[in-house]
Amino acid sequence: MATNVRVRFAPSPTGPLHIGGVRTALYNYLFAKKHNGVFILRIEDTDKSRYVESAEQYIINALNWCGIPFDEGPNKNEKFGPYRQSERKTLYKQYAEKLIANGNAYYAFDTPSELNYSRKEYEKNGETFIYGWHNRKSFKNSISLSAKDVKARISRGDAFVIRFLNPENDTLTLNDIIRGSIEINTQVLDDKVLFKSDGMPTYHLANVVDDHLMKISHVIRGEEWLPSLALHQQLYNAFSWSAPKFAHLPLILKPTGKGKLSKRDGDKLGFPVFPIKWVDPESQQVARSYQEDGYFSDSVVNFLALIGWNPGSKQELFNLANLVDAFDLDRVQKSGARFDPEKIKWFNRHYMQQQENKSLVTLFKDLNPSISKIKDSHVERIIGLVKERATFVSDFWELSHFFFIAPFKYEQKSMSKTIKNNTAELMEELIEKIKPIDDTSKDAIEKKIKNWIAFKEIGVGRVIMPLRLALVGSLKGPDVFDIIHLIGKAETIKRIKHLIQTV
């Protein structure tokens, strides 16, 4: 492994960062940190028609929330900056012209309508239109036109693009860390546009030039870019540059395993596909996110790491440091990996148990303003009793509401199961036993009540079940003695009396 590892995550700021993009960023980050390298963020904003101003900051915020911040990027350690392609556009034209000068690219003056006409003609014959070796001389370009004509067109300001000149009938051998050796014949490749008439480069040219100038050692990106590998490798060859090593990650598939998970699938399938909150600047519509749904960033990162990669063992739970140690591109699979929305909940339940109760108090209070004035220490103790059954902080209220509000009605099924002929009398007697108890000690409460039950020589359930019903409103909840300890004996007696009146 090269000692100077430099990788980049290069999203386009056209909207919120999809969870698939987060995984790509994560794998780049893990690979960089594993090899003491540098993780770079580069904003590829050459497509001005789709540019969304707030998207860049969203991407940065999303990476920070996930705990995978970039080492170099916009406004941070700009050793090879700028890191926005729109601010580098003066660079690209000179490189496009170098390719023309060395015979690897050419000017093309065809208008959009002319190209569209040709495309339709091909479609009429059931063929796919490709602008390449077999037809390039029939179009208006610097291959078919005289040098004088080309010069005249450029001088008078005719619109043109610069296309790559694919070699005819050549076999390319491409190497990918994940997919191995790939062979492709240039006959099937089209002469891609490298530089557009608006003075901006296409992704292909800008990507290769920037990766070279920023000394990128490994390009780790999604499978959707695999068809571009042939062109990118040829561009490196045309510039006489050493190419980075490539690794194309498998697709993240829908939960059914059929088709790529898209940005629209969140609304359709009922789970988030974005890491943090996104507000569309035009419609002001808020997109559902993992942060807003109450997921811990550690859960999201752990889950995403295992979509398409395995550590070679049955271990599933990894913190970020563990992931860095274990990560290896050789263990990334080739085939698509299914997204399992239930599995990420499993991870969140695990990470819930790792949280300090104190750190969850504010989150719980923010979701439930009615308890905002209750002492943090009291809420913290309640959280400690219920969090093991929670997946999200939003579950806390359902699991603990009876600590804050006395039940005024009882679950009918629990009533039928619990209330017997002498239940009211037992509860009356229990009240008398509770009155003198020291309720500052859970142990004292438990000992006193259990001793009384033993003395009565009755089943524990005959007392504890109706007691739980009185305290909770159902037969759910944590240990009844913990509940009594936290709500106090006065409130406990009040609730038992209410149950007696009901039965």
Cross-strand partners of 468: none
Omega cis (within 30) before 82: yes
CA angle 479–397–431, rounded 5-degree value = 40
CA 499, CA 497: separation in Å to the nearest integer? 5
Q: Which of 34, 260, 263, 365 is catalytic?
A: 263
Confirm if 49 and 200 have CB atoms less than 8 A apart. no
Between the alpha carbon of residue 218 and those of residues 66, 70, 149, 215, the distances in Å are: 22, 16, 42, 9
Segment holding 330, helix H or strand E = none
**What residues contact residue 245 under an 8 Å CB cut-off, 6+ apart?**
175, 177, 217, 218, 219
Tokens, residue 258:
């059929």
Quote the DSSP letter at residue 111.
Answer: -
Helix (H, G, I), strand (E, B) or coil at 7: strand
Between the alpha carbon of residue 154 and those of residues 94, 145, 163, the distances in Å are: 16, 12, 15
Quote the DSSP letter at residue 144.
Answer: T
Q: Which residue has the tokens 């497509």?
A: 47
- End-to-end CA distance of the chain, in Å? 75
Tokens, residue 452:
């009384």
For 128-193, the DSSP string reads: ----STTTGGGSSBTTTS-HHHHHHHHHTT---EEEE-PPSS-EEEEEETTTEEEEEEGGG----E
Tokens, residue 16:
């919120």
Helix (H, G, I), strand (E, B) or coil at 309: strand
- Cα dihedral across residues 181, 185, 186, 189: positive or negative: negative
Q: Is-catalytic flag, 263?
A: yes
For 67-81, the DSSP string reads: T---SBBTTB--TT-
CA 175, CA 320: separation in Å to the nearest integer? 29
**What residues contact residue 29 under an 8 Å CB cut-off, 6+ apart?**
9, 39, 68
Confirm if 55 and 274 have CB atoms less than 8 A apart. no
CA-based Rg of the chain, rounded to a whole angstrom?
33
Tokens, residue 14:
């056209």
Spacing of C-alpha 269 from chain mean position? 16
Tokens, residue 141:
């370009």
Active site residues: 263
